[in-house]
Structure 1
Amino acid sequence: MASTVRRTRPSNTDLARLIEASGASRKSLAARINQLAQDAGMRTEYSHTSVANWCARGMTPRWPVPKLVARALGERLGRPVSLAEIGMEGVQTPDAEVGLDFPRDPTDAVRVATSFWSTVNRRDFLTGSSFAISAFSTPVIRWLAAPTDPTAAHRGSRRVGRADLEELRQAADEARRWDSKFGGGSWKASSVTACLERRAAPLLQGSYGDQVGRELFSVTAELSRLAGWAAFDMGHHDAAQRHFIQALRLARAGGDVQLGCYVLTTMAMQSLLRGFADEAVDMVQGAFERAKNSASPRVLAFTKLIEARAHARTHDARTASRALAASETLLGQARETGDEPAWIDFYTHARLSADATEVFRDLNNPKAALVWNQQAAAMAPGVFTRSVGMRLAIVATTHLQARDLDRALQLGNRSVDILARVASARALDYVREFTTALAPWRREVAVAAFLTRTRKDLGIAC
């Protein structure tokens, strides 16, 4: 459900009266708003409780949802309904679009990014789970049109040196390690936003030549991508989108095409997991074509992997298999040691196999999925805790497709063992998928015990 901001008055009687006059139930109104949001390219999860909060507690959904509330009630009443009538006039904040811009000018790009970082930790609505695919349109088009800026030099009040760059790189390395082990909600991962505001922003406004500037923009882009990934992992999709957009813009300022390719691939992955598989295909294919002559094979291989996952979500087995094979070929060309960027070192053959398991689970091909899973066993739970926990949930679902309930529950319980130590809403989604797939066996004693455990240990309502 998208985040809300508290209003000054205790209740919204105008809205309550209009809902009553319309004859709509709170549940049906919430369902229609979710449908209108989806039609507008947003993903929301409002419920009757949300509507109750708007009425009784004077809370309002973030913009532009108030317009959808008015439209839904207008449909019921057979006439236009204004924001004033529902008590939500003037709820759009002046900086509601903060972090969504992708300026053409590098100076403006720094201004937009630093403004966003200065407010993101204090903006309640940015912890919302809403997702608007349309927010990616302009950034994607502009990056594909021009993935690099001509110069990164800047004159400011303080000189930026190599020691400053190394500090930011160490912060990024540490955040990546903690995120892999403990999830996006871990203290180290979530502290990236503070690093962007307090350390990166002043440096971007400093004085540096072209080479140092490009490195500064690149490492700051990676930090912004990490902040977005942490938000994405915790289900804060609104904030994640904005961090990813800024990361893509900063990668362009740094002239770092392969990092831009990686960021765009990550954006595609978020789009895919929010239900926009076709758009994700377009994004990764564009990223690959733009970077194929400059990015390392491992980066391009990851792009093809996400393309395979997107095709699998559309149930296109042939194209998914072709993209997966391309990813495997490119990964075979990658160097195990060399000058590849640190941020892509996680993508190994074990990780490819783990994702291939998910690809074939989505294609409802448990035989192929289990074959790939055998090759993914090399993933170390101590290093990639979250990934291992998610893979176990995926494989457990695959065993259900093969009608092997005992093995599925065994793996499901192991997944809960691991994920109970990880702060990741995304990881819990995989457990939810497994519990949903258990529906035909819900009367089984062992299944009931597992569902009780997920409620207790993970807080998952079944």
Structure 2
Amino acid sequence: MARGPSNDFLRALLAEAEWTGQDLARAVNVVGAEAGLGLRYGRASVSQWVSGTRPRDPGPALVAEALSRRLGRSVTAAEAGFAGEPDVWWGWSLPAKLAELAAAAGADRRAARRVCVYRLAACEVPVWRTGGGRPQVTDLRGAGDRDRPVGWTARMAGRELELATIVVRLLSMVDQSYGGGVMRAPASAFLAHVVGPWLNAPLDGRARGELMAVCSQLAHLCGFMSFDDHAQGPAQRFYRTSLLIASDGGRREEFAWALRAMSVQAHSLGHFRPALQLAESAVSPRLTVLTRASVSGQVAVALASTGSRRRALREIGKAEELLDRALDTPSHSVGSYHRAALAFQKATVHAHLHDPGAALEALREALPLWSAAERRSRAITLARMAELELGQGLLEEAVATAHRFLDDCSQIHSARVRGALTGLRARFRPHGKNQAARALLQRAAQAANALGTAQRAAPV
């Protein structure tokens, strides 16, 4: 940490926020936890910052985000009195944004630090405008003639789009079975350096619309892989990119799926009001029935998280009705929705409404409905089932369910699955005197060690 002059800017912001040093430290630790950082800042740390010490990156960005949330307005690291690289990603051109995210998903730790912070202000939704009034949000400044595909025709574009569509489906299948940590870096690089430059191709009409759709889907998938890997800052940026590309291309389906994904992420981080706003912004009668069902299910989850019991139950019922009408509809390339996903949403709704029995029943309904390829979803369902069974005093059932979870999780490179394993170990420890629970804990410890080793050995 470098010491400079006294930081009067930070002192003034603390006064405006009506925060003590301990309050700021606690808030920064929360923002850091969202970024996967186990920080332990305290009052003494804040005293050092006010005295002129600059925390190492991404500390200034974390402080700025914590203050932004408290004050309800954007605060930059510079405005908080910290010199250094500003967070300018949001103002970059699309090629530069994608290149930075690809670097962050790879081995570039400086890039990873630059984009690691989840920004609550970025949950704002751009207004969808119909017709010629829609703004061109896909900024290709910086792409240059060097990156422009040469000699493209609609026929050539069709071949490339077919390739990209196949790659998206394959990446999605790998993600579902093996977790986002396996292909996050290659997928991000494919988007930045192969598919992204196609947006600079001299195409119009239907060909350009299809091109925008596949780019939006791939950005969405990269976002979900990042989310699954607990890389929340990159996930948010990929989702936002997917959203803006869809808007620019007039692709309502991709636009709605991106909003839904942003809502899921906000909900998972405990930002329930923004999650509801995002989900409700995705609602449109112009969507396919399947997408409307998926969005209604997420609206129900977000409503339940904010305590709106009647509206949540009504919305989850609407999702079920819509899904009944959409059973023959082909699944979406990214973000599939079917009865297992609906049942899992039901469980989340009931859990928020303090009905663990109904939540457990819904999870038991979901479990056999996941396909064999959806290994991660099945594992997360089992972990949640074991947690609820344990909470209701069903120790024997919880142990059996947790063993099934361990059967599934060994080949999954997913931070969410690792987090579920950590949570189960913590919940079963008080039952360590029970022989079955003790045996489970021993097996879970071995699984945790194996997953940690596999994670360290996997490509970064």
User: What letter corresponds to residue 281 of structure 1 in structure 2?
Assistant: L
Which residue does 2:62 correspond to in 1? 65
Aligned residue for 1:106?
none
For the pair 1:275 / 2:275, whether they are aligned, the reply is: no
CA–CA distance in structure 1, aligned partners of residues 227 and 189 of structure 2: 17
1:244 corresponds, among 239, 243, 246, to: 239
The residue identity in structure 2 corresponding to 1:131 is Y
Counterpart of 1:14 in structure 2 is 3
Contact 1:358 1:394 in 2 (8 A): no
Among all aligned residue pairs of Structure 1 and Structure 2, give the percentage whose two residues are the same amino acid. 19
2:160 maps to 164
Give the AA of the match of 1:239: P
- Residue type of the alignment partner of 1:303: V
The CA deviation at 1:31 is 7.1
1:190–1:230 contact (8 Å) kept in structure 2:
no
Deviations 1:252-298 (A, max 9, x none): 1221112101110000000000111121111111211xx22x11111
User: Does the Cα contact within 8 Å between 2:31 and 2:65 map onto a contact in 1?
Assistant: no
Of residues 410, 414, 419, the one that matches 2:400 is 410
User: What CA distance in whole angstroms lies between the structure 1 residues aligned with 2:371 and 2:34?
Assistant: 35
- Pick from 191, 201, 204 the counterpart of residue 206 of structure 1: 201
Partner SS, residue 57 of structure 2: strand
Q: Does the Cα contact within 8 Å between 2:29 and 2:38 map onto a contact in 1?
A: no
The question of 1:350 aligning with 2:322 is answered: no
Q: Within 5 Å, which residues of 2 pair with 1:194-233? A: 194-233=189-228
Matched, 1:363 2:358: no
Maintained 8 Å contact 2:300/2:316: yes
Deviation at 1:441, TM superposition (A): 3.1
Is the counterpart of residue 395 in structure 1 residue 391 in structure 2? no
Give yes or no for the alignment of 1:176 onto 2:202.
no
Q: Is the 8 A contact 2:220 2:334 kept in 1?
A: no
Kindly provide the CA deviation profile for residues 391-411 of structure 1, in whole angstroms up to 9, marking residues without a partner as x.
001111121232101111111
Contact 2:221 2:334 in 1 (8 A): no
Please give the alpha-carbon distance, in whole angstroms, between the structure 2 residues aligned to 1:249 and 1:333: 30
The corresponding residue for 2:444 is 454
Does the 8 Å contact 1:31/1:46 carry over to 2?
no
TM-score of the pair, normalised by structure 2: 0.76
Instruction: Judge conservation of contact 2:213–2:254 (CA < 8 Å) in 1.
Output: yes
Instruction: Please name the residue that 1:120 is paired with.
Output: 101
> Which segment drifts farther, 193-202 or 306-315?
306-315
For the pair 1:133 / 2:124, whether they are aligned, the reply is no
Residues 144 and 276 (structure 1 numbering): CA distance in 2 closer, same or farther, change over 3 Å? farther
Q: Deviations over 1:10-62 (max 9, x none)?
A: xx2639x99xxx9xxxxx9787434157699987755238999x999984225
Aligned in 2, Cα 1:250/1:44: closer, same or farther, shift over 3 Å? same
Aligned counterpart, 2:15? none
Match of residue 3 from structure 1: none
Preserved CA contact (<8 Å) 2:27 2:66: no
Bigger mean CA offset, 197-206 vs 40-49: 40-49
Distance (whole Å) between structure 2 residues aligned to residue 57 and residue 442 of structure 1: 45
Q: How does 1:49-88 map to 2 (within 5 A)?
A: 59-65=56-62
Q: 1:451 to 1:145 in 2, by over 3 A?
A: farther
Do the aligned residues in 2 keep the contact of 1:196 with 1:223 (CA within 8 Å)?
A: yes
1:405–1:146 CA distance, 2 compared to 1 (3 A): farther
Ranges in structure 2 where 5+ consecutive residues have no aligned partner: 12-19, 69-76, 453-460
| Contact 2:220/2:239 (<8 A) preserved | yes
Q: Which residue of 2 aligns with 1:336?
A: 328
Deviation of 1:244 after TM superposition, in Å, equals 0.6
Residues 413, 450 of structure 1: 8 Å contact kept:
yes
Match of 1:430 in 2: 420
Report the residue type matching 1:64 in the other structure.
A
Structure 2: how far apart are the matches of 1:190 and 1:68? 26
Distance change >3 Å, CA 399–CA 362, structure 1 → 2: farther
- Structure 1 residue aligned with 2:258: 263
Task: Determine the structure 1 residue equivalent to 2:230.
Answer: 235
Q: Is the aligned partner of 1:372 residue 2:362? A: yes
Shift of 1:146: 5.7
Q: State the one-letter code of the partner of 1:97.
A: V
The Cα of 1:209 is off from its aligned counterpart by 1.8
In 2 relative to 1, CA 448–310 (structure 1 residues): closer, same or farther, beyond 3 Å?
farther
> Could you tell me how far 1:343 is from its partner in structure 2?
3.0
Q: Aligned-pair distance for 1:116?
A: 1.0
Q: CA deviation at 1:390?
A: 0.4
Indicate the RMSD between aligned Cα atoms, in angstroms: 3.9
What TM-score does the superposition give when structure 1 sets the normalisation length? 0.76
Q: Is 2:97 the counterpart of 1:97?
A: no
Q: Is the 8 A contact 1:393 1:411 kept in 2?
A: yes
1:117–1:196 CA contact under 8 A, matched in 2: yes
Verify: 1:297 aligned to 2:289, yes or no.
yes
Moved more, 423-432 or 41-50: 41-50
Provide closer, same or farther for how the CA distance between residues 394 and 251 of structure 1 changes in structure 2, counting only shifts above 3 A. Answer: same
Q: Deviations over 1:369-400 (max 9, x none)?
A: 23323432333453100000000011111212
Q: Per the alignment, do residues 129 and 443 of structure 1 end up closer, same or farther by CA in structure 2, a change over 3 Å counting?
A: farther
- The one-letter amino acid paired with 2:166 is Q
Tell me which amino acid in the other structure corresponds to 1:194: A
Q: Alpha-carbon deviations, 1:325-359, whole Å to 9, x = none? A: 11101101114145x64335x31112211332333
